[in-house]
Structure formats: C-alpha cells, structure tokens
Amino acid sequence: MKRILSGIQPSGALHLGNYLGMMRPAIELAKQGEAFYFIADLHALTTLHDAEALRRYSYNVALDFLACGLDPEKTCLFRQSAIPKVPLLTWILSTVTPMGLLERCHSYKDKTARGFASSHALFAYPVLMAADILIYDSDIVPVGKDQKQHLEVTRDIAIKMNETFGSIFKLPEASIREDAALVPGTDGAKMSKSYGNTIEIFDTEKSMRKKIMAMVTDSTPVEAPKNPDTSSIYNLYRLFASEGEAAEMAKKFRTGGTGYGAFKKQLFSTVWEYFEPMRKKRAELESAPDYVETILRRSAEKANTLAESVMARVEKAVGLRS
Ligand code: ADP
Ligand code: TRP
C-alpha cells in the first residue's frame, strides 16, 4: 500500500485555493492508501510570531480538515511539532544540502520580496519540508503546483543522503492536480493568503457573497460574448459545478447576453451550497474540542512510531547510533 503524506501551514484561515489545490485531492487520495496529514506549525513559525494566533490557526486547520471529510479512523492528522525527530532529521539533511540548492528556491525570494523578515528558518524551510516527507518513507505527496520545487529539492536531498551514507531513503513523488493547480483569487492572480485575494472556505454568508460579487472583471458589456477560459468566475465555478453545469455556463459566456453580476451570483450560490454539509460538520466538531484533541494525539502517536523506526535507520547510517 502506498504511503501518502502532506502538510498545510496554519498561517491563516484556509481558502478555496487551499481546498481545491491541496485538501480535496488529499482527502480523496487518502482513500487509496495509508495517509499522514499534518498541520505544519513549525513552518508557520517562519512567518507568524503570534502565539495566540498560531494556536488558534493550528486548531482551526484540524477542524477544517475533519469538516471537509478527512476520515480520522483511516488517516492520521497531527501537529508537525508533535514529532520531535523531525527537527533532528532536518539538521542531518542540512549537512548534505548544498547552499546553491536553497538559493535557487522561489519561496524564500518571494516571501522576502513580500516583506517577510529574512531569517535562517525561512531560508532553510525546504530542508524542514524534506524532513517532513522523508521521515515517514512517503511515496506520494499531494500538493498545489507552487510546492513542486520543494518536492524536487526533497528528492535531491534524498539522493545526496543515499550517495553519502548508502541507501536510506526512497524517492517521493509529488501528486499535483493540473485542473486545480493554480486557483485564481478575487483579483485574478493566484489565490493566496499573502495577496489578500482569498475566499475563505468557512466564511460567513454575507462576507463570502461580498467577496465573490467584488471579483475583478473586464468591462465587456452584458450583451457581448465573453471568454470563459480567461475568467476567474468561470474558472472557480467549474471546480465546484458538475461537468454539465460548467458547460452550460461556458456556453452562456460565449453567447453573450448575460452580465458578470449574474455569473457571480451563480458562483456564490454553488460554492455556498457545496460547503453546506461541511459547515454543519464543522459546527458539531467545534462543540467537541476533546474529540478533536484526541484525534490529534492518537495520530501523533502513530506518526511518532513510524518516524522513530525510520530515524533508527538514519541515525545508524550517519553514525549517531550504534
Ligand atoms: P497560501 O499561498 O495562501 O499561503 P499555502 O502556501 O499555505 O497557501 O498553501 C497550502 C497548500 O494549498 C499548498 O499545497 C498549496 O500548493 C495549495 N494552494 C495554495 N493556494 C493555492 C491556489 N491558489 N491554487 C492551488 N493550490 C493552492
Ligand atoms: N510548505 C507547504 C506549504 O506551504 C506545507 C508543508 C510543510 C508540506 N511540510 C510539507 C507539504 C510536507 C507537503 C509535504 O503549503
């Protein structure tokens, strides 16, 4: 059976891009193997220095995943920081990671360009991510397209370790859903917490409607034909609607006679209805914090057992254990 692993940073409320690019495919994939999904709180610390917010966001990611259909009986869901061997493996991997490999990574450059303070942790972020992946002997890693480079770095580091110390790690593969690789935000650019263009999964009805109705469009008049393929309204809609419904909207775009406002209303009601059962589930979970903590603790125990066994092999290979 394939081992599937992924993580998501608790650096804010999760949005439709996170859901379509990572959560939905990860929850689907979990049905086909043994899955380990974690809340990347150590990664979030690279950009978030507010203890109360980090605690709240971490817990909310757990609620969101469970509400969106992750089955806690079959899948492990835990906090990254609950696995103490991860930082040890990060250090070991760092000792074979060439500086040039990290210097080529986009995420450090992007984040410092967006105003985040440059730090050793932000620069070494991909090494921590490699440790996350390699410590569970992972086969498949479902992520959005923006994480592709980090998977390549992980494989490079694993190869370097194997060359240096003998065969220790298997090489993981990224699993990227091309249809939801880059979900557009309300301004048409990639939806991202850092761009302020997000639509949160569990937003209030009023606020979600407002964000969708304010989506940026061009000034094509109501009666004129429009191109669905370049429209973020259509590109979001098709990811939630059935094939038939998506084809119908595409046809209306091309025919003309329908304004963007009407398409936005249709997008809002489809998205709002899509998440209705998940909102119910989330409300139930919110009133059962002990249940959620039990899942996180139980999953961490299982993840730790696996991490310990892989680390016994690693520590022996590098000479930290006999
Ligand atoms: P953000 O850019 O909002 O900070 P993260 O970097 O925390 O999001 O991403 C968490 C996961 O969600 C990653 O696997 C990432 O690839 C995916 N993801 C984030 N935004 C999008 C998007 N707009 N389209 C597709 N996937 C996305
Ligand atoms: N860097 C990922 C992101 O920003 C989160 C992450 C941390 C992750 N460790 C991971 C994803 C390991 C997959 C595997 O979304």
- Structural domains in the chain? 3-182+288-318 (3.40.50.620), 203-274 (1.10.240.10)
pLDDT digits over 178-219, tens only?
A: 888 789 999 999 999 878 899 999 999 999 999 999 999 999
Ligand 2 pocket check for 192: Cβ under 6 Å: no
Q: Which two tokens stand for residue 174?
A: 């990224």
Average pLDDT, the chain: 96
Q: How far is CA 225 from each of CA 73, 214, 252, 256, 263, rounded to the nearest angstrom?
A: 50, 21, 8, 4, 13
Closest to 283 measured CA to CA, from 198, 199, 193, 204: 204
> Is 186 a pocket residue for ligand 1 (Cβ < 6 Å)?
no
Task: Confirm whether 160 is a catalytic residue.
Answer: no
Which of these is catalytic: 74, 85, 111, 264?
111
Question: Is 111 one of the catalytic residues?
Answer: yes
In contact, 142 and 4? CB cutoff 8 Å: yes
Banded model confidence at residue 144, pLDDT cuts 50, 70, 90: confident
pLDDT in tens, 15-29: 999 999 999 999 999
Task: Taking residues 59-86, report their average pLDDT.
Answer: 97
| Ligand 1 atom 8: residue of nearest CA | 192
Q: Locate the ligand 2 atom nearest the alpha carbon of residue 132 and give its number.
A: 12
Question: How much is the pLDDT for 114?
Answer: 86
pLDDT of residue 29: 95
215 lines ligand 2 (CB under 6 A): no
Q: Of the residues 31, 74, 190, 252, which is catalytic? A: 190
Ligand 1 atom 1 nearest Cα: 192
Catalytic annotation present for 280? no
Helix, strand, or coil (residue 124) = helix
25 lines ligand 1 (CB under 6 A): no
* pLDDT given at position 268: 98
> Which whole number is the average pLDDT over 253-282?
98
Find the mean pLDDT for residues 61-90: 98
- The finding on whether 144 has its CB within 6 A of some atom of ligand 1 is yes
Question: pLDDT (tens digit, 9 = 90+) per residue, 164-179?
Answer: 999 999 999 999 988 8
**Ligand 1 atom showing the smallest separation from residue 193 Cα:** 3
Helix (H, G, I), strand (E, B) or coil at 39: strand
pLDDT tens figures, 97-129: 999 999 999 999 999 998 999 999 999 999 999
Least confident span in 4-8, 58-62, 70-74, 144-148? 144-148
| Residue 11 neighbours by CB under 8 Å, 6+ apart | 44, 47, 48, 57, 193
